[in-house]
Amino acid sequence: MKPTVGIIGAGLGGLSAAIYLANAGFNVKIFEKNDKFGGKLSYIHQDGYYFDIGPTLLTMPFVVEHLFETVGEKFNEYLDIIKIEPACRNFFSDGTYLDTSSDLSIMKSELNKIYPSAATDYENFLHYSKKLYDNTADIFLFEPFQEIRYLLKKRSIPIQRVFHLDAFRTINETNRSFFQDDRLVQLFNRFATYNGSSPYLAPATLNVIPYVEYGLGAYYIKGGMYKLVEALQNLAMKLGVEINLNCEIKEILIEKKVAKGISYSGKKEYFDYIICNSDVVQTFNSLINGFEKEKEKLNKLEPSLSGMLFLWGVKGKTDLLKHHNVFFSDDYFKEFKQIFDEQKAPDDPTIYISISSKSNPEHSPSNSENWYVLLNMPYLNPSQNWDFEVKKMRLTILNKLKKFGLDIENKIEFERVLAPKEFYDLYRSNKGSIYGISSNSRMTAFKRPANRNRSIKNLYFATGSAHPGGGIPLAILSGKHCSDLIQFYSK
């Protein structure tokens, strides 16, 4: 009889684990509390507007490609990925803006407008960023690095490389050593938010991310990011994965420290393996009885940033804006201090605006645009009043845009807002965090929960809150790691 796997959650990690394992001959069932697949990779479609409500950028598409190839399917028959040019229009508080590009010659000529040697500084930075990627990716991303026995068997421990991680400086410290203009430091500091962290706390090891975006390329998916979920859903169903939507798991059944099954709607179901795509901390806090020491340890890990997302259907076209735009705050250090240290919404938030209708006209009615406006926010704590903050932030955004000649207040004909509480309610992410655990300390990579739980046998985690971390490609890799480990330990 085929071994059975029950997966809690149909987010990217859950779908990826399901596809890899079903392809390897396991009998897989997914239980998802929401009425659709994809978890944080989601969308809404209303009044003629399509909005992504999660990721707007796909990096490392080869991770998705690998998934398709493993099951004998062609990635490009399912998905059309497009490069957006410019990659992003970045507005600074002094009123200037800079377009970035993954095309080196375009990027260099843009940077040279900032100061004469900026292009050379950037080339040196990109070279350094690539080196970091080469030194870290194999061990910290593409392998479940906490699994020594598994790695030894695979003879795949490029351990000598982990001594070149730039882990003793912060992102900001390193970026200051490369660039002579505060705007460029701020621009490259922002990559810390790609995994929900502060550039003033996170180790410079995370400077791999600029290479991932500019060296390897960042993409949008033609038709909308949700096409990725639809493609994965198709693969899972083709492979015979059984999917139960609107089905919230209430408990993981554990006997003598072995995960045996799950319970939902008064029913119990038993499996050989349980994989949680649900957030690790939240899973321990709400679905597992006992294991207090593990809970205490997990609850000490700092969650990543949360967000506040305004979805605006805006009448008319704004030529000044591109598909991806960032309006930087005046004082980036203060912004992160307020978010992480003071746990409050920043006075002057950096504003990210994605308008996918610029490259997908069908995403909005004619002569209008779909604005996805995202602010970094602190994860939930009981003292915050989000109704008040949403009103305040709405005004702050509109006033800031006016300073750049963009007066859209009376042009907004559709509006929906997601604050940290909604991110918690929708996805049960720990305290509304959007990337799992923050990387605000040198040791985070080592403290991030492993894909195979050590306290409870046969319990695995395929989620952005476990190794190797948040973001589309990493969540998909977490599913692959679970599949590889289950196959390894079941032999």
Ligand X SMILES: Cc1cc2nc3c(=O)[nH]c(=O)nc-3n(C[C@H](O)[C@H](O)[C@H](O)COP(=O)(O)OP(=O)(O)OC[C@H]3O[C@@H](n4cnc5c(N)ncnc54)[C@H](O)[C@@H]3O)c2cc1C
Least distance from C-beta 59 to ligand X, angstroms? 6
Is 374 or 397 the residue whose CB approaches ligand X more closely? 374
Least distance from C-beta 312 to ligand X, angstroms? 15
Least distance from C-beta 34 to ligand X, angstroms? 5
Return the structure tokens found at 50: 């399509």
Phi and psi, residue 324, nearest 5°: -115, 130
User: What is the side-by-side strand order in the sheet with 218-221?
Assistant: 58-59, 218-221, 81-83
Is 184 or 212 the residue whose CB approaches ligand X more closely? 212
Q: Which spans of this chain sit near ligand X (rule: CB under 6 A)?
A: 8-13, 31-34, 39-41, 54-57, 248-249, 277-278, 287, 307, 309, 374, 423, 427-429, 434-435, 463-464, 470-472, 475
Return the structure tokens found at 379: 């994860």
Partner residues linked to 324 by β-bridges: 354
Pairing of strands 351-355, 324-327: antiparallel
Is 144 or 464 the residue whose CB approaches ligand X more closely? 464
Is 75 or 333 the residue whose CB approaches ligand X more closely? 75
Least distance from C-beta 56 to ligand X, angstroms? 5
What's the burial of 142, exposed, middle or buried (CB within 10 Å: 0-12/13-18/19+)?
middle
The closest of 430, 7, 477, 485 to 241, measured between CA atoms, is 7
CA distance 128 to 31: 43
Phi and psi, residue 154, nearest 5°: -80, -5
Least distance from C-beta 262 to ligand X, angstroms? 8
Phi and psi, residue 325, nearest 5°: -140, 145
Is 396 or 451 the residue whose CB approaches ligand X more closely? 451
Is 278 or 350 the residue whose CB approaches ligand X more closely? 278
451 within 8 A of 461, measured Cβ to Cβ: yes
Least distance from C-beta 301 to ligand X, angstroms? 15
Is 32 or 121 the residue whose CB approaches ligand X more closely? 32
Least distance from C-beta 302 to ligand X, angstroms? 16
Is 210 or 307 the residue whose CB approaches ligand X more closely? 307
Least distance from C-beta 278 to ligand X, angstroms? 3
Task: Count the residues in the chain.
Answer: 491
Cβ partners under 8 Å of residue 256, min gap 6: none
18 within 8 A of 479, measured Cβ to Cβ: yes
Is 308 or 314 the residue whose CB approaches ligand X more closely? 308
Least distance from C-beta 3 to ligand X, angstroms? 21
What's the burial of 231, exposed, middle or buried (CB within 10 Å: 0-12/13-18/19+)?
buried
Is 15 or 201 the residue whose CB approaches ligand X more closely? 15
CA distance 374 to 51: 12
Pairing of strands 273-276, 459-461: parallel
140 within 8 A of 445, measured Cβ to Cβ: yes
CA distance 361 to 370: 10
316 within 8 A of 285, measured Cβ to Cβ: no
Least distance from C-beta 140 to ligand X, angstroms? 16
The closest of 320, 338, 321 to 329, measured between CA atoms, is 338
